[in-house]
Amino acid sequence: MSNAAIAKPISTSTHRYERKFEGTVSAASQVELIVRMHPAHFREAYPPREINNIYFDTPNLASFTDHVMGAARRSKLRLRWYGQELGHIEKPVLEVKLKDGHVGTKQQYRLPPADFSGVLDLPRLHQDAKESGAAPTVVERLAASSPTLLNRYRRKYYVSADGRFRVTIDTGLSFRVINGRYHGFRNRYTDPRLIIVELKYAAKHDEGARDIGGGLPFRVSKLSKYIHGLVCLGRFEP
């Protein structure tokens, strides 16, 4: 990672509910049509974009274990960027995603631009995290963790007419194992049939969320992209 730019200070998202579904139809276009036809009048909020995440976990796989064991409170540490998978990354972000039941929030730390060829410069990443204003606990967690998985998918964004509810549709999911010794990538698993729909809204709007969710005729899911990727790549059993 380059230190050519000064990292932006910490930002923390508001607490919101995140309810996840899996598409039960065969084509993403059908899922999108169902969302657009919803009585809440969902319309596209932003242009679609490709999302890339590198997940980090401890040697004893604390994040993996917490999710598999059904811990109510859990967290994930990841590096996220948008656009192409390899090459120049203009706005990488180090994120801690925190979940308490269905309620989630994120702590985000903007890092300097980087050139990423599939190999992580971990010492540089640790230094960038320190300079980003990341909390000492986050820096310590990063230093005690190793990269475990890269995932990538295409996301579309929708918002209800009243602006209170958001829906995202994720397609084209792919996963790569990270070699722990060299921090390079090997293997790839793609899941072209998997469609993940998420309903997101502020906690204060939970009362009205039942009607919104009732209009999304998909299977309720607790699928974690991180867990799903590791399991599909044959690294761990759920």
Domains of the chain: 11-232 (2.40.320.10)
Provide the pLDDT for residue 192.
87
Give residue 110's pLDDT.
95
Residues 6+ apart with CB under 8 A from 123: none
Strand partners, 43: 159
Handedness of CA 18, 170, 221, 41 (dihedral sign): positive
Residue 101 CB contacts under 8 Å (≥ 6 apart), including other chains: 72
Q: What percent of the chain has pLDDT over 70?
A: 89
pLDDT, tens digit, 9 for 90 and up, residues 8-67: 445 666 789 999 999 877 789 999 999 999 999 999 999 999 999 999 999 988 999 998
| Verdict on whether the full-model pTM lies above 0.75 | yes
Average pLDDT value for the chain:
88
Closest CA to 6 of 95, 153, 109, 82: 109
* pLDDT tens string 184-205: 565 788 888 899 999 999 988 9
| SS3 category, 105 | strand
Name residue, tokens 């809440």: 40
- Look at residue 11 in the predicted model and tell me its pLDDT: 61
